[in-house]
Amino acid sequence: MFAKIIRWGGITITALLTLVALLILNLIGLSQRALPDYDGKATVNGVTAPVDIVRDEYAIPHIFAQSDADAAYALGYAHAQDRLWQMELFRRVVQGRLSEIFGAPALPADRVIRTLDMYGHADRSLDDLSPELRSMLDAYARGVNTYIEASDRPLPPEFQMLWHEPEPWQPADSVGLVKLLAAGLSGNAFSEILRTRLMEVLSDEELETFDPPYDTDSKPAIRDMARLYRTLGLERILAAIPDTGPPGASNNWVVDGTWTKSGKPLLANDPHLGMLAPSIWYAAHMSADGANIIGVTIPGIPSIILGRNDYIAWGFTNTGPDTQDLVIEEANPDAPSQYRTPQGWQDFTTREETIRVRLGEDETLTIRETRNGPVLDALADTVDDVVKDGHVVALRWTALTSEDTTIEAGYRFTKARSVTEFFEATRLHVSPMQSMVVADTEGNIGMIAPARVPLRGEAHSTGGLLPASGATAADEWQGLVPHAGLPQIINPAHGYIATANNKIIPDDFLYYISSSWDAPYRANRIEEMIEAKRDHDVASFEAILADNKSQMAEKLTPYFTSVEPETDQMAEAQNLLRNWDARMERDASQPLIFHAALRRLHASLYADELGELADSASRRRETFILNALSGSDPTAAKWCDDRLTPEPEHCTDVVRKALAAGLNDLNALYGTDMSTWRWGKAHPVINNHLPFGFVPVLRDIFNIERESAGGPYTVNRGQTGSSTDRPFANVHAAGYRAVFDFNDLDNSVFIISTGQSGNPTSPWYDTFATLWADGEHVPMITERSQIEANAIGTLRLMPGTDL
């Protein structure tokens, strides 16, 4: 009997494997047939004059047109050729329509987005855009739709595998993607939730050292607010609202001519986001009537997001402002359709949204809004219990506006001819707040962090650190920080500006911007390398972008090497760490030992105090850890003692146990021979495809991986993830890097982390992946003759009869 079972089992497995192989071969065939043509001529309705799309050796489109609108049309056409699935997926996210493709599992995400009405705000914002930009948005949409309708190629493989066809692209889709970017780079509401929940388990003194709210002594009495939330039962809804993860990080810096070999400015930028296949970024060059713009776009948006024109270059990092408030609204016990305001009871406004669900029943949401914003019913499974208590939670966020001109600001950045013109264009930037560095051909440099940032009054009960009361006048926003009051500087006396999500304002800054600044390790290292020489050039800026030295590791490693070893392996590991220069190099074992021990140290120090909150509270705790181990934290003894054990522990015990546990983790993952441990192998950058990068049979086809250097605290940043089987993988890094040389702008360089194409069978799907991992770049050329010298094709779009 067992032999028969085994035989039939073998036949079944063989049949399944054969089926899988056939499916993969079919997928490859479908993908190859969907590859676009980069060469030839096409007569199209939508351009006013011939437009050439010249594809260079990397398949980057160089668009030569007679007008901005025609260039936007061609960019839409090129985006559709290469990234149509990515565009479709992202717009479905911002529309709250993922369930139409993926069914019921996508409902939670759709409920949230529909509650926020992000796409509705985007659609209504079209009325506030200039005629010039509206013309570009319309032309771009025509370009996308022309390719979809006229192409004789099958749709990209994702459409075919999911039996889905795209709808025509709309101008509001492009504005919606800007909203989506703002959502991905904003998240202080989740900090409010975490801080509220931390107050449930930590004393005032412990909270002050673990999560210090301000850099000054001026702090609200937040402990009283915790008691209020507990009385109302609101900790249940706050606990149920999921954390969406860390917002984007980044580096940028700019120097004037006093720091360069040429006497002209240099500027560098590398925004850090989740790593996707294909990259969220798409390189492009647009030349309209002889004016050049080159850099990176986001497919779906008809303009260069980061890059340069013939006069200026610019780069962004995320500022991390406090632009969101959770607001506790009190419902009227006698009239549940009302909520309390400082002026009395007011009716909730309501709207209905119907979510269509593939292979399931449609769902209708009734969404309530207050004067502060949407009520977050969709974010909490326990909302009925909270309603019984008579209170709900609304979100107030500066990005939830139907007068959002952020995309207009981006368009005007591309037209600016000086630092001051760029600054003027930032008046239209709403969200997300970015620390923007800029330089111009006249030798000027500057930095400004524009956005709509709320003003909270002196009497505000929480100062933006915790959920506020919707019934209290003192907790209302008092307006917005004026543009002149935002962080900004032009031509500083020391000749350079660097930002890396660190604090960019002095302690006595007039306005409150944020309490969520990143640790200064990356910014300090950038400044250290800038000040190391006075003759910088493109190569030296590339070296800074690729720098793998961790100032955090430099400070923390001595604690691991100073404890008494428990085993011979621990002693060997300590010797390796003593002879380490704190560089996170791919071929080194020390970065792996360090991060394994650090991972365990996080848990050892505060897991007993925080319980289930430990994982979500682990971000940005580097300063806390160093303060605890150095003794500068007066509560260090409490943190180092494990309150779950009867015997008291000291900080040396915690460090020793963390190192021992980290080594055990590495033994289990990579074997006991430390000579075979390599950071690069354990820390590959994983560019995940959405959605097939998470499907075991398909991930090897769709995902793009390369061994990578760097770590969470290096300029060449590589944030590790939370996977149990690959805990040190690089999942959040610089998907785009660039250096701009004002001695000769065509000497500038850039790179993205994958390739231009979104089709896994394309030769240009992973073109840049190895170059990116090696810290290399490709030329950022706008001269047509140089581009055509190595071009792989030119597609000419000829005007038809119907515009």
- Output Rg (C-alpha) for the chain, integer angstroms: 27
Instruction: Give me the pLDDT at residue 205, please.
Output: 80
Hunting for tokens 């055990």 — which residue is that? 664
Instruction: Give me the pLDDT at residue 209, please.
Output: 82
Residue 696, judged by CB atoms within 10 A of its CB (0-12, 13-18, 19+), counts as exposed
Q: Coil, helix or strand for 466? A: coil
What residues contact 453, with CB distance under 8 A and at least 6 apart?
A: 321, 322, 323, 398, 433, 480, 481, 486, 511, 513
Q: Coil, helix or strand for 440? A: strand
Calpha distance 59→495 (Å, rounded): 37
Eight-state DSSP code of residue 283: E
Is the CATH code 3.30.70.890 the one for domain 188-243+324-397? no
Calpha distance 726→681 (Å, rounded): 10
- Enumerate the domain spans of the chain: 1-33, 188-243+324-397, 551-582+589-677
* pTM of the predicted model over 0.85: yes
Residues that constitute the known binding site = 192, 322, 325
The rounded average pLDDT for each run of 10 residues, N- to C-terminus, in the chain (803 residues) is: 36 46 63 87 96 98 98 99 98 96 92 95 98 98 96 89 94 97 83 80 81 50 49 51 57 99 99 95 96 98 98 97 92 94 97 96 96 85 47 93 98 98 99 98 99 94 86 95 98 98 94 90 98 98 98 97 97 98 98 96 85 76 85 76 80 94 97 97 96 87 97 95 87 97 98 98 97 98 97 97 59
Instruction: Give me the pLDDT at residue 696, please.
Output: 83
Cα distances (angstroms) measured from residue 222 to each of 196, 197, 200, 374, 513:
9, 12, 12, 24, 19
What residues contact 708, with CB distance under 8 A and at least 6 apart?
A: 586, 680, 683, 684, 685, 718, 730, 733, 773
Hunting for tokens 């997300």 — which residue is that? 432
Instruction: Give me the pLDDT at residue 234, please.
Output: 52
Instruction: Give me the pLDDT at residue 631, please.
Output: 78
How do beta strands 249-255 and 266-274 pair?
Answer: antiparallel
Residues that constitute the known binding site for Ca(2+) = 192, 322, 325
Active site positions, annotated: 250
